Amino acid sequence: MKNRSIYRCLYPISFLYGVGVRLRNYLYNKEILKSKSYPIPIICIGNLSVGGSGKTPMVEYLIRHLGSKYRIAVVSRGYKRRSKGLVIALPNDTASQIGDEPRQILYNFPKVMMVLDGNRRRAIEYLLSLPKEEQPEIILLDDGFQHRRVLPSLSILLTDWNKPYIKDKLLPVGRLRESLEGALRADCIILTRCPEEIPPIEYRIMERNLSLYPHQSLLFSRTVSGDLTPLFPKEAVAANNGNVKQRVIAIAGIAQPEYFFADLKKRFNVIKTLHYPDHHHFSERELASFSTLLSDHPSSLLVLTQKDAVRIIDYKEKLPQQLKSRLYYIPIETVLSEEDSTKLEKIVEKTIRQVNQNSSLHL
How do the domains of the chain map onto residue ranges? Answer: 31-225+336-361, 229-330
Q: What tens-digit pLDDT sequence spans the chain (363 residues)? A: 455 666 678 899 999 999 999 999 999 999 999 999 999 999 999 999 987 789 999 999 999 999 999 999 999 999 989 999 999 999 999 999 999 999 999 999 999 999 999 999 999 999 999 999 999 999 999 999 999 999 999 999 999 999 999 999 999 999 999 999 999 999 999 999 999 888 889 888 998 999 898 889 999 999 999 999 999 999 999 887 655 789 999 999 998 899 999 999 999 999 999 999 999 989 999 999 999 999 999 889 999 999 999 999 989 889 999 999 999 999 999 999 999 999 999 999 999 999 998 876 655
Distance of CA 71 to the CA centre of its chain: 21
> Please, which residues bridge with residue 151 across strands?
none
* Cβ-based burial of 261 (10 A; exposed 0-12, middle 13-18, buried ≥19): middle
What was the pLDDT predicted at 165? 94
Q: How far is CA 206 from CA 177, 189, 234, in A?
A: 21, 12, 47
Binding residues: 49-56
Binding residues for ATP: 49-56
User: What is the C-alpha to C-alpha distance for residues 270 and 250, in angstroms, rounded to an integer?
Assistant: 7
Q: How far is CA 259 from CA 38, 52, 129, 193, 265, in A?
A: 38, 11, 42, 9, 10
Q: CATH number of the domain at 31-225+336-361, please? A: 3.40.50.300
Spell out the CATH class of 229-330.
alpha beta
Would 31-225+336-361 and 229-330 be classified into the same CATH topology? yes
